[in-house]
Structure 1
Amino acid sequence: MPSINMQQCFVRNEELKHYPKVSIESIPSKFQLFISSTSNIYGKCLFVLIMLVINLFYCRELLSLDAVFSFKLSAFIQLLYGNCLYMVFYFRYNRNLVKQINDHWNSLQIDYDYETRKYFWTHTAIYRRLLYVLYTLFFIISCFHPIFLYNGQHNIVIYFYLLVCSPLSLFNRICWNCIYFGLIHLAQTAVEFNLVKLKKMLHESRKDEKSLNINAIKNIRHKYLLSCRLVDKINEIVSPLQFLIFTNLIANACQLSYSLLYNEQNELDKLLGNIQMGSILMHILLYTHLTVKVHKKSQESLAFVYKLSLKTNSMRLLNEISLFLNHNEIGFTFGGMFLLTTSSLSTLFSILTTIIIALPTFAK
C-alpha cells in the first residue's frame, strides 16, 4: 500500500530513493547480541575475554606499583564506569529485549510509509557520521597522548594499551553508541508518524470541520498508545545508560575544566585537553538533543490533539479526544528517577555549571 507522500512524489515526477525496512539490526547490534547474556558459550567466553583485557589495563592504571604505593581515583572511576556499561549491555541488551522491541514496532504497522523509512534512515546516517567524527578525535587523543607523555620510553604497558586496549575499547564504544542512537531514532520515528498524521488532520479540519473522523482519531490514539509502549520497552536499556553516560561525561568535564584552569600544562596538553573538552560537549549535546526530542514530539502531538478539540462540537469526538489527552507523556527517564525533559535537563546543566564555578574552592 503506497503512502500519501509516495503518491505526491509520483505526481511531481520526483525520483524516490529506496529506503529499506526500519530495523535496529546492524553489525554493532549483532556483535553485542553475540556476547550478551542470551548468547551461546562462545559468546560468553568472548565477553569474559574482553572484560579481562580491559580490566587488566585499568587495574595497572589504578594502582601505582612504584617505590611509593598510590591509588588513582580517576582510574577507579573509569574502571567502575567501564564495567557498569559492559554489564548493562550484557544483561539488558539481549535477544529477548530486541524481540520485544521488534514486536512493539511491528504492531504499529507503519513501516509501509515512505516518509517513516526516510525519517529513520536519514537521521540514523547523520548521527552515525557525527559519531565517527567524535570517536576519531577520541582515538587520536587516546593513542598519541601516551606517546608524547612517555616520550620514547619502551614500556610494554604502553604498547599493550595502544595495540589492544584502545582499539578494543573504541570498537565497543562505537557499537554501544550505534545501538543507542538506533533505539532512540526508532522511538522518534514512531512518535513522528503520529505527529505528522495529527498535523494533516488539523490542516484538513481547517478547510472542512466535518472532515474530522472518529475512526481516524481512534486509530491515531491507538498508535500513540503503542508508541508509548515501544518507548517504555526501549527505556529499559536507555534509562540506565542515560545515568551512566551523563554522570561520566559530567565527571570528565569537571576534571578537564579543573586541569585546564588550575594546573600548569604545556601547549600540547592544553590543545589535547581542549579537543577532548569539545568532544565531550558535543557528546552531551547529541545525547540531550536525541533524548529530549522524543518527549518534545509527544508534547507537540498532544497540543495538536487539543487544537482538534476546538474544531468540533460532537460529543463522541470530544470524548475520544479527551481520552487521547489523558495519555501519559512519552519520554525516557534518567536512571528511572525522573523524566528527561527540557526543564529537568536545564536543572542538570545548572548543577554542572555551579560545580565548575565552584572549582576554585577545590583548588585552594
Structure 2
Amino acid sequence: MPSINMQQCFVRNEQLKNYPKVSIDSIPSKFQLIISSTSNIYGKCLFVFIMFILNLVNCRALLFISLDSMFSAKFGALLFVLIANWMPIVFYFRYNHKLVEQIEDHWNALQIDYDYETRKYFWTHTAIYRWLVYVMYILLFTFHYCYSIYTLSDKHTSKHPIGNGLFYFLLLILALIISSVHFCQTCIHMDLPMLAQSAVQFNLIALKKLLNEATKDAKSLNITAIQNIRRQHLLICRLVDKIDEIMGPSLLLMCTHFLANACHLAYALIYNEQNQLTKWYNVILTSFILITNMIYIHANVKIHEKSLELVAIVYKLSLKTDSIRVLNEITLFLNHNEIGFTFGGMFLLTTSSLSTLFSILITIIIALPSFAR
C-alpha cells in the first residue's frame, strides 16, 4: 500500500530512492546477540573471553609493583575498572533475543513500514548519526592508542621490557576487540532511538495533515482518524517503553563514565603535576567523551521533543471542533503519558531535566576534587 507522500512524488514525477525496510536486524545487532545471555554456550564463552581480554590490561600494573612495597588500592582505578565492565554486562543481560523480538513485534504492530517517509526518515537520520559517531569513534580510539604506544617509549617504562612487550601484545588485541564491541554498541545506541523517532514522526505527519484539513473545513475532522492516531500513539508508547529497557541504563552509564573522567581531569589539573602531553591527552579524551555523549543524548531527547510537538497539534485540533465525541477522543489522547527515554529509570529525559542534570554534573565535577584532596 503506497503512502500519500509516495503518491505525491509520483504526481510530481520525482524519482524515489529505494529505501530498505526499517529494521534493527543489522550486523552489529546480530553480533551483540551472539554474546547475549540468550545465546548458546559458544556465545556465552565468547562473552567471557571478551570480558577477560578487556580486564587483562588492568594486570599490567602488577608488573611494576615491587614485592617489598606495601599494598595500596586506589579508589579511582577501581572505579574505572568497574565502569569499563558495566556497559558490556548491561548489554549482555538486557540486549538479548527476547528483547529484540519484543521490539520488532511492537514495531510490526504499528503497520507503518509501508510508508515511504517513515523509511526515508529512519535511514537518512540513521546515516547522519552514524557518520557523526563513526568520526568521533575513530578519532577517539586512534588518539587513545597512539598515546598509549607513545608512552611506552618513556624512560620509566623502558626499564621493563617484559611488561612493555606484553603491553604491545595486549594493545593489539584490545584495539581489535574493544573497537568491535564498542562499534556494535554504538550502532545499537543509534538504531533504537531512530526507530522510536520514526514511529513518532509517522503520527506527527498524520496529525499535521489532519490539522490542515480541519483548518480548511472544521467538519472534515473525522473521529475515526483521531481514534486510529490515538491507537498508534498508544502502540508507540509501548515501543518506546520496551526500547527504554536497554537505553535507560545505557544513558546512566554514559553519564557516569563522563562524570568519572571529568572528575579525574579536574583533580589532575588542580593537584597533580603532569607534563603537557598528559594534560592535553586528558583534556581531549574527556572532550571526546562529552561530545559523543551529547550526540547520544540529542538522539534520545529528540523523541520527547517530537512527542510534545504531537501533543501541541492535538490541542490545536481541539479548537477546531465543537463535537463532544471528537473532544472526548482528543481528551483521551492528551491524557496519555509522555513519550521518551528515562535516565536509568529514575526520570524522563527531557530538555529541562537534561539542563538540571548537567548543572548537577558540573557542580560535582567542580566540588569533588576538593573533597577527594
What TM-score do the two structures reach when normalised by structure 2?
A: 0.92
Deviations 1:101-131 (A, max 9, x none): 0000000000001110010001111111111
**1:36 aligns to 2:36 (yes or no):** yes
Which residue number corresponds to residue 249 of structure 1? Answer: 258
Q: How many Å apart are 1:70 and its aligned residue?
A: 3.3
Using the alignment, how far apart are the partners of 2:205 and 2:62 within structure 1? Answer: 52
**1:21 aligns to 2:30 (yes or no):** no
Q: How many Å apart are 1:299 and its aligned residue?
A: 1.4
Runs of at least 4 residues of structure 1 off by over 4 A? 61-64
Which residue number corresponds to residue 119 of structure 1? Answer: 121
Using the alignment, how far apart are the partners of 1:361 and 1:75 within structure 2? Answer: 18
Using the alignment, how far apart are the partners of 2:25 and 2:230 within structure 1? Answer: 28
Cα distance change on mapping 1:185 and 1:61 into 2, 3 Å: farther
Q: How many Å apart are 1:230 and its aligned residue?
A: 0.3
Which residue number corresponds to residue 360 of structure 2? Answer: 351
Name the aligned partner's letter for residue 19 of structure 1: Y
Name the aligned partner's letter for residue 240 of structure 1: P
Cα distance change on mapping 1:13 and 1:159 into 2, 3 Å: same
The counterpart of 1:141, out of the listed 143, 147, 161, is: 143
Q: Say which is worse superposed, 178-187 or 221-230, in terms of deviation.
A: 178-187
Q: Say which is worse superposed, 341-350 or 8-17, in terms of deviation.
A: 8-17
Cα distance change on mapping 1:357 and 1:54 into 2, 3 Å: closer
Q: How many Å apart are 1:362 and its aligned residue?
A: 4.6
Q: How many Å apart are 1:265 and its aligned residue?
A: 3.2
- Mapping of residues 260-339 of structure 1, within 5 Å: 260-339=269-348
Q: How many Å apart are 1:29 and its aligned residue?
A: 0.4
Deviations 1:170-227 (A, max 9, x none): 2111111111111111111111111111111111211111111101000000000000
Which residue number corresponds to residue 101 of structure 1? Answer: 103
Name the aligned partner's letter for residue 100 of structure 2: V
The counterpart of 2:249, out of the listed 240, 263, 284, is: 240
Whether the 8 Å contact between 2:36 and 2:92 is mirrored in structure 1 is yes
**1:47 aligns to 2:47 (yes or no):** yes
The counterpart of 2:190, out of the listed 152, 157, 181, is: 181
**1:206 aligns to 2:215 (yes or no):** yes
Using the alignment, how far apart are the partners of 2:278 and 2:13 within structure 1? Answer: 56
Which residue number corresponds to residue 8 of structure 1? Answer: 8
Which residue number corresponds to residue 216 of structure 1? Answer: 225
Using the alignment, how far apart are the partners of 1:292 and 1:333 within structure 2? Answer: 10
Calculate percent identity across the aligned residue pairs.
63
Deviations 1:51-71 (A, max 9, x none): 111122224448963353432
Structure 1, unpaired ranges of 5+: none
User: What SS does the corresponding residue of 2:355 show, helix, strand or coil?
Assistant: helix
Q: How many Å apart are 1:74 and its aligned residue?
A: 3.1
Q: How many Å apart are 1:361 and its aligned residue?
A: 3.1
Structure 2, unpaired ranges of 5+: none
Name the aligned partner's letter for residue 219 of structure 2: K
User: What SS does the corresponding residue of 1:336 show, helix, strand or coil?
Assistant: coil
Q: Aligned pairs, how many? A: 364
Whether the 8 Å contact between 2:57 and 2:167 is mirrored in structure 1 is no
Which residue number corresponds to residue 133 of structure 2? Answer: 131
Whether the 8 Å contact between 1:62 and 1:72 is mirrored in structure 2 is no
Q: How many Å apart are 1:301 and its aligned residue?
A: 0.9
Deviations 1:300-340 (A, max 9, x none): 11111111000000011001101101111111111111111
Whether the 8 Å contact between 1:33 and 1:95 is mirrored in structure 2 is yes
Superposition RMSD on alpha carbons, in Å?
A: 1.9
Name the aligned partner's letter for residue 79 of structure 2: I
Name the aligned partner's letter for residue 189 of structure 1: S
Q: Say which is worse superposed, 202-211 or 275-284, in terms of deviation.
A: 275-284
Using the alignment, how far apart are the partners of 2:262 and 2:183 within structure 1? Answer: 20
